[in-house]
Structure 1
Amino acid sequence: MKIVVLIKQVPDTAEERRLSPDTGRVDREATDPVIDEITERALELALTVKDRDKSTEVVVASMGPADAAKSIRKALSMGADSGIHILDDSLAGADMVLTAATLAAALRDTGADLVIAGNESTDGRAGMIPAMIAEHLGLPLLGSLVSAEIGGDAVAGVRLSEVGTQEVTASYPAVLTVTERFEEARFPNFKGIMGAKRKPLATISAADLGVSAQVRSTVLDVAQRPPRTAGRKIVDDGNAAAELVDFLAARRLI
């Protein structure tokens, strides 16, 4: 089995993230870059399959600037076999339409049985890229799963919804996305770190993929979030309940 895991380099999720007022994009220089936590969990799922069956090939793919190669190398040190880095300055600031088209083009000829991704990225949280990729490739999507069983002939999983639990399944090839309910990623050991330096990492451009790097959407304006103000205090002098009801009703919260 061949599994391709989509990973994304994002600003450190433990620090405050901000938008650049000049570009309207995420300011990636403000914090240290890390692999998105949810995509790390996607990689962990793939590596658990490889742990059970050593013939499984795990490839990590990422689209990003030059230093995104560091995140790919970390994924290789964790146990992935090879990496794909889509690197092209013309893709800077790519919107979802362009990002999905580019990633789908990179995946099309990999021969992957299964593509695993996070259900959303912690810097954008749009949660639409995997579905768009599946549409480009004409593959079934098992999205936002809380558990998954990757078998020899099919993949199955459980998805939670507002009204209950859904059990979904698909034959290969397919696209699967994980949520934060999955196991945290393992730490690379010294052997893995040293071995990652010798693993293949292919760098490809938009031209290599036959993709026209045309960004169709732009950010027109960025405004700083206003500081939080003190709330209204209600002192119980016998009619606090009525005051609270009036307060909530005035804001159409009840």
Structure 2
Amino acid sequence: MRIMVPVKRVLDYNVKPRVKADGSGVDLSNVKMSMNPFDEIAVEEALRLREAGAASEVVVVSIGEAKAAETLRTALAMGADRAVLITAEGPVEPLGVAKLLAKVAQEEQPGLVILGKQAIDDDNGQTGQMLAGLLGWGQGTFASKVAIEGEAAVVTREVDGGAETVRLALPAIVTTDLRLNEPRYASLPNIMKAKSKPMANKTPADYGVDVTPRLTVTRVEEPGKRQAGVKVADVDELVAKLKALGVTG
């Protein structure tokens, strides 16, 4: 079985975002970029399934600017077998990403697609669900555990009330949550090997997909600064202030 893992190049989670002076978006100049953390978990899970004998190949896919090749090389250094880079000018919205991934899936014929539940740059959390809808495949979102049993994937997913286990006929879509695994670090020998692993270069036009944005960002603003708290002398004063604010027990 082949596993396909989409990955996205995003602002590194350790970097504090800066809004552009004109409010048109986040300033990405001269800042560290890295693989979306949820996608890193997806790569790790795919590698573990391959190492367990449940899969024979792991293919990583990225959609974005040419620099996304660096993110794919990171996934290859972790242990993925080959990569597909779809170069697109400007941001690609979740629906456009899902349409492209659907075309790649039809070409690659994976038994399982594992991707992060969301990207930390826009936090849309839509691509996995849209991809499942376009392909007509079952989906297990927010996965905290994944197991392959014959022709099915058994996915434990996090829900508001605790955990839910679903059984999906393959092929299927799985989106990863934080508690699924701890991604490995790429070793220096594997980083060197990654340079020679195959990476196909494509464009949206190669798949006949229109990725023209359908949404317009009018303005981006930083969140307001948190106001300082107020000290109270005793419990009675605290209760009085809470009552004044309309807070009841």
Does structure 2 conserve the Cα–Cα contact (< 8 Å) formed by 1:17 and 1:30?
no
Does structure 2 conserve the Cα–Cα contact (< 8 Å) formed by 1:78 and 1:187?
yes
Local SS of the residue matching 1:160: strand
Deviations 1:156-199 (A, max 9, x none): 11122223421101111000011000212111112211211111
Aligned residue among 177, 180, 183 for 1:182: 180
Does structure 2 conserve the Cα–Cα contact (< 8 Å) formed by 1:148 and 1:155?
yes
Deviations 1:103-156 (A, max 9, x none): 222222111100001111111211111000111111111111111112331101
Q: Name the amino acid aligned to 2:13.
A: T
Q: Distance in 1 between the 2:174 and 2:228 partners?
A: 44
Q: Is 1:246 matched with 2:243?
A: yes
**Structure 2 counterpart of 1:78:** 78
**Structure 2 counterpart of 1:235:** 233
Does structure 1 conserve the Cα–Cα contact (< 8 Å) formed by 2:25 and 2:219?
no
> For residues 20 and 133 of structure 1, do their structure 2 counterparts lie closer, same or farther at Cα, with a shift above 3 Å needed?
farther
C-alpha deviation, 1:86, in angstroms:
0.9
Does structure 2 conserve the Cα–Cα contact (< 8 Å) formed by 1:21 and 1:222?
no
> For residues 54 and 228 of structure 1, do their structure 2 counterparts lie closer, same or farther at Cα, with a shift above 3 Å needed?
closer
Deviations 1:211-249 (A, max 9, x none): 12321111012233332221222221x513422531552
> For residues 51 and 241 of structure 1, do their structure 2 counterparts lie closer, same or farther at Cα, with a shift above 3 Å needed?
same
Q: Is 1:116 matched with 2:114?
A: yes
Tell me whether 225-234 or 55-64 shows the greater mean CA deviation. 225-234
Residue correspondences, number: 249
Matches within 5 A, 1:1-254: 1-22=1-22, 24-53=24-53, 56-89=56-89, 92-236=90-234, 239-246=236-243, 248-249=245-246
C-alpha deviation, 1:25, in angstroms:
3.5
Q: Distance in 1 between the 2:120 and 2:244 partners?
A: 34
Does structure 2 conserve the Cα–Cα contact (< 8 Å) formed by 1:130 and 1:177?
yes
Does structure 1 conserve the Cα–Cα contact (< 8 Å) formed by 2:232 and 2:238?
no
TM-score by length of 1: 0.90
CA RMSD of aligned residues (A): 2.0
Unaligned runs of 5+ in 2: none
> For residues 247 and 146 of structure 1, do their structure 2 counterparts lie closer, same or farther at Cα, with a shift above 3 Å needed?
farther
Tell me whether 18-27 or 7-16 shows the greater mean CA deviation. 18-27
C-alpha deviation, 1:10, in angstroms:
0.8
Q: Distance in 2 between the 1:55 and 1:242 partners?
A: 61
Q: Name the amino acid aligned to 1:231.
A: G
Unaligned runs of 5+ in 1: none
Q: Distance in 2 between the 1:247 and 1:192 partners?
A: 63
Q: Name the amino acid aligned to 1:82.
A: R
Local SS of the residue matching 1:249: coil
Tell me whether 150-159 or 194-203 shows the greater mean CA deviation. 150-159
> For residues 197 and 247 of structure 1, do their structure 2 counterparts lie closer, same or farther at Cα, with a shift above 3 Å needed?
farther
Deviations 1:40-98 (A, max 9, x none): 11111110111122861000011111111011011101100000111022xx1222222
Q: Percent identity?
A: 31
